[in-house]
Amino acid sequence: MRELSFRWQSHQWRRRVFSGCVVAAIIPFLSACGAFGPKKPAPRCPDVLLLKHANSVTYFKPGPGRDITDVLGTIAIVDFKGECDYNKKRTKVRITLNVAFDVRRGPADRTKAMNFRYFVAIPKFHPAPQGKSVFPLQAKFRGNQTRLNLIDEIRLEIPMPPYPKVDEYTVYMGIQLTPQQLKYNQSQANRQRRR
* 174, HSE (Cβ side, Cα atoms, 13 Å): 21
The pLDDT value recorded for residue 161 is 87
Cα–Cα dist 57/185, whole Å: 7
Write the CB contacts of 55 (distance below 8 Å, at least 6 apart in sequence). 25, 76, 77, 174, 175
Cα–Cα dist 87/91, whole Å: 7
Write the CB contacts of 44 (distance below 8 Å, at least 6 apart in sequence). 32, 33, 166
The pLDDT value recorded for residue 19 is 37
The pLDDT value recorded for residue 12 is 38
Cα–Cα dist 158/91, whole Å: 8
The full set of domain ranges for the chain reads 13-194
The pLDDT value recorded for residue 90 is 87
* 103, HSE (Cβ side, Cα atoms, 13 Å): 26
Three-state DSSP string of 19-54: CCCCCCCCCCCCCCCCCCCCCCCCCCCCCEEECHHH
- Does the N-terminal peptide bond of residue 123 adopt cis geometry, omega within 30 degrees of 0? no
The pLDDT value recorded for residue 96 is 94
Q: Each residue's pLDDT tens digit in the chain (195 positions)? A: 223 222 222 233 444 443 333 333 333 344 444 444 455 777 899 999 999 899 999 999 998 888 899 999 999 999 999 999 999 888 899 999 999 999 999 999 999 999 999 999 999 998 888 899 999 999 999 999 999 999 999 999 999 887 788 899 999 999 999 999 999 999 988 877 765
Write the CB contacts of 124 (distance below 8 Å, at least 6 apart in sequence). 21, 131, 168, 169, 170
Give me the phi and psi of 124, to 5 degrees please.
-50, -35
